[in-house]
A and B are shown apart, each in its own frame.
Chain A
Amino acid sequence: MAVEKSYEEINERIKQGKAVVVTAEEIIDLVKEKGVEKAAREVDVVTTGTFGTMCSSGAFLNFGHSKPRIKMNRAYLNGVPAYAGIAAVDAYIGATALPESDPENRVYPGRFLYGGGHVIEDLVSGKQVKLEAFGYGTDCYPRQHIESWVTLEEINDAILFNPRNAYQNYGVAVNSSNKTIYTYMGVLKPRLGNVSYSTSGQLSPLINDPCYRTTGVGTRIFLGGGTGYVAWHGTQHNPSVSRGENGVPLDGAGTLALIGDLKQMSPEWLRGVSYAGYGASLAVAIGIPIPVLNEDILLSCTVTDEDIYAPVMDYSFAYPQRVSEELGQVSYAELRSGSITIQNKEVPTTPLSSYAKARQIAQILKSWIAEGNFLLTEPVQALPSMDAGITMNNLEEKKNNR
């Protein structure tokens, strides 16, 4: 008999403290031992996790009104510019924003010690952050300048809203040139000196739900140490990339736009990061629960690092020049072994996202659910899937053709 469970049944078991929850790592051996049908009957929820740099992140803040009032059109938090082209005292602090005084790459490689991601970390740490804002002055908002100090607790609203997180798989970076390069995939040594990879593989949220059967708009998740929601599909969401027989994409594919209350979050799970020669950003912790509605959904959760492949890209030429050229495909099992062979050379591999922390996130989410503190939500709308006909457009340089 095929196993069929509903969100309501699973939530009922969670409320009663009876739900069986395992992580995406634990489910692998459990299914090997018990078989898919028996495991699907027993297990209610599989938890996933990922913790890595996610540049398309930031927070909407509302500071409250000063006396007299100001309509901010330029705002700075600890010197980092926030986007103030919205209502009077609202602003968006983006993860990669840099202070105007930052030397950037003028002294190469730049160090990017403090940016928007660090502002967000300071806010969730409860630190006072310096706010400076300018306005041009209007009859209703006469003030033109304000300097003050704010904390997360004092400001009215702080909403983490990340337009693109949780990439479903990602390319693997190498450098075939003769000089060290500094990229968002970390420092890459010359002549294929090291391999840098991202995503938490078999623990990664969308790798375990490859066809977006349970993750959709409205899915409640672990975000930055608090609870958040899937707001929409992320920017550059591209379900159309080629996939393996298990449905797992062979390159970066689906993405998620995520939202949550920054006031609930913690600096352990939202951390400012600095990439030498590249920039500042934010490391974001995400955990997504997958309800075991049927055996098919469970089967997808049994994916192992051996079954997940990613393309090797040359970041000294092919990537920056937008040339589609792969140096081959490698599995996450190979990547996690510590070295892979490229062009007959054994090259050390290291991750950029933390597998150890991803495991910890999946464990935390597991305990939240098992203890009855976290109910699952049924998506109110599915994410665009392989049949949506999505293609990625490139930006071409054009002349005005009017």
Chain B
Amino acid sequence: MVANKFVLRFTSALVEQPIIYRLVRDFDLVVNILKADINPHKEGYVVLELSGDSDNYNRGLKYLKGVGVDMAPLSGTIFWNKDRCLQCGACTSFCPAGALYMTPDMEVHFDDTKCIICESCLDVCMARAVEVRF
């Protein structure tokens, strides 16, 4: 069993093809789309996690390269927008790495060197002050 996250970039011609469907049907891969921006006749991208048994996984990657999808491993970073942060601290219960933390005087800070990009903070932030950037 192999699982990895990738950023796939599609040219405007590739956008019209049912590529995700092929990955699922022809290679029996589990596809979990994390983020996507696909528009007809335009370039687009998909951030996804691919998992499956290693033979299928490798054949799937080969297929993607074969049709011309530009692939890169996910190297997103979490960006904390200090100005958007409401300083409530709700996120700090959800950050397993202690990257988002509160000081004793109740101020919220972010230490990006501790962040493991698990994305647990994203939906718990009412101010949407944390985002993934690629």
Contact = CB atoms under 8 A, between A and B. Distances in A.
A129 to B, nearest CB: 19
Contact of A356 (B94, B105, B128): B105
Interface centre among B87, B92, B126 (most CB of A within 10 A): B126
Given A271-B127, A354-B86, A357-B86, A348 B93 contact: yes
B15 interface: no
Nearest to A360: B87
B88 A353 contact: yes
Given A111-B123, A186-B124, A350 B90 contact: yes
B53 interface: no
Nearest to B122: A276
Contacts of B124: 186-187, 276
Given A113-B128, A356-B106, A356-B108, A276 B90 contact: no
Contacts of A348: 92-93
B123 A196 contact: no
A315 interface: no
B83 to A, nearest CB: 9
Contacts of B43: none
Contact of A352 (B88, B105, B106, B108): B88
A273 interface: yes
Interface in A342-357: 348-357
A109 interface: yes
Interface string B79-122: 00000001111111110000000100111100000000000000
Contacts of B91: 350
Interface residues of A, number: 31
A283 B126 contact: yes
A276 B124 CA distance: 7
Nearest to B101: A338
A273 B86 contact: yes
Contacts of A283: 86, 126-127
A179 to B, nearest CB: 15
A376 to B, nearest CB: 28
A170 interface: no
B114 to A, nearest CB: 17
Contact of B123 (A276, A354, A357): A276
Contacts of B105: 356, 359
Interface in A261-319: 271, 273-276, 281, 283
A113 B91 CA distance: 17
A356 B126 CA distance: 16
Contacts of B107: 356
Interface of B: 86-94, 102, 105-108, 123-124, 126-128
Given A109-B123, A274-B128, 12 more contacts: A111-B123, A186-B124, A187-B123, A196-B93, A274-B126, A283-B127, A351-B106, A354-B87, A354-B106, A355-B87, A356-B107, A359-B106
27 contacts: A109-B123, A186-B124, A187-B94, A187-B124, A196-B90, A196-B93, A271-B127, A273-B86, A274-B127, A274-B128, A275-B126, A276-B123, A276-B124, A281-B126, A348-B93, A349-B93, A350-B91, A351-B106, A352-B90, A352-B126, A354-B86, A354-B87, A355-B89, A356-B108, A357-B87, A359-B105, A359-B106
